[in-house]
Amino acid sequence: MTDRPYVLLSCAMSIDGYIDDASAERLLLSNADDLDRIDAVRAGCDAILVGAVTVRRDDPRLLVRSDRRRAERVARGLPPSPAKVTVTASGDLDPAARFFTMGEATKLVYCPSGALEKTRERLGGVATVVDAGEPAGPGTLLADLAARGVRRLMVEGGGTVHAQFLSAGLADELHLVVAPFFVGDGRAPRFVGDGSFPWHPGRRARVLEVRQIGDVVLTRYALSDRCPEA
């Protein structure tokens, strides 16, 4: 699939590799300057993908926050914020979630064929619900997004979604931020769980950049030769 979108994975984790804690509250890992950097990355993408657990648990807006960046996008003939994309097998998403209610961008919900009917019933009024086949793998999503004109996709987690793109070899770049503390709770979600990944001791990913941003550290990795700096 040569014309799939460029896929940029973005994640913040604790020193011990957790992307959240086990509490009901959302854990803040990034700082204000890093959130502004993420905003700039978002503004440069056509679509942002998060998994359904992230929609349920974090209720993210997934909008470009900066007025200037929104205005620049509009001046380029784009909507103020990228399209929002999620994937679900359960279809159990709240149509009142901020993912659906905030911003005018296109909202796409991908689900396996077997869940199409119930997901359309529940979310058809607030999003375009797309049959992603059985199972709904990342390759199918990317092919459909490409057909919808998405050239650059930012994947913002959670770990289940990141792991699928990474293990399928369908990620071009990874932005990994490490926050300066430990979570230390095995009940909390990790960046990725067990899996077979194309990068291992015999095939190391290439570091493009290491940048300190206040009290966090960003490492940018090239994961494919589509990455312009690779």
Ligand X SMILES: NC(=O)c1ccc[n+]([C@@H]2O[C@H](COP(=O)([O-])OP(=O)(O)OC[C@H]3O[C@@H](n4cnc5c(N)ncnc54)[C@H](OP(=O)(O)O)[C@@H]3O)[C@@H](O)[C@H]2O)c1
Q: Which of 7, 8, 9, 19 binds ligand X (CB under 6 A)?
A: 19
The only residue of 7, 8, 29, 170 in contact with ligand X, by rule CB under 6 A: 29
Size of the site for ligand X (CB under 6 A): 30
Residues 6 or more apart whose Cβ sits within 8 Å of residue 133:
112, 113, 140
Which is nearer to ligand X, 46 or 131 (by Cβ)? 131
**What order do you get walking across the sheet with 173-178 strand by strand?**
128-131, 107-111, 83-87, 47-51, 152-155, 6-13, 173-178, 216-222, 206-213
Residue 140 binds ligand X (CB under 6 A): no
Q: Is residue 170 near ligand X by the rule CB under 6 A?
A: no
Tell me the longest C-alpha to C-alpha distance in the chain: 48
Min. distance of Cβ 28 from ligand X in angstroms?
A: 9
Rank residues 78 and 219 by Cβ distance to ligand X and give the closer one. Answer: 219
Among the listed residues 53, 108, 109, 130, the single contact to ligand X using CB under 6 A = 53
Tell the smallest beta-carbon distance from residue 63 to ligand X (Å).
15
The neighbour count for residue 6, using CB atoms within 10 Å, is 19
Tokens of 215: 């009290």
Query: Alpha-carbon dihedral of residues 119, 10, 187, 57, nearest 10 degrees?
Result: -40
| Orientation of helix 67-75 relative to helix 32-43, angle to 10° | 10
Distance CA 178, CA 12 (A): 6
Binders of ligand X in range 69-98 (CB under 6 A): 87-90, 92
Residue from 84, 189, 216, 220 in contact with ligand X (CB under 6 A): 189
51 lines the binding site for ligand X (CB under 6 A): yes
Q: How far is CA 170 from CA 51, 61, 74, 142, in A?
A: 16, 25, 29, 9
Is the CB of residue 163 less than 8 Å from the CB of residue 190? Answer: no
Region of 65-73, 96-104, 135-143, 204-212 interacting with ligand X (CB under 6 A): 135-143
3-state helix, strand, coil in the chain (%, to 5): 25, 25, 50
The single residue among 136, 142, 145, 227 that binds ligand X, judged by CB under 6 A, is: 136
Q: In the set 54, 81, 106, 119, which binds ligand X (CB under 6 A)? A: 54
Tell me the window of 48-56, 70-78, 203-211, 220-228 that interacts with ligand X (CB under 6 A): 48-56
DSSP type of residue 190: B
Q: Least distance (Å) from ligand X to the CB of residue 94?
A: 11
Q: What does the binding site for ligand X look like in residue numbers (CB under 6 A)?
A: 11-12, 19-20, 26, 29, 50-54, 57-58, 87-90, 92, 112, 135-137, 156-161, 164, 189
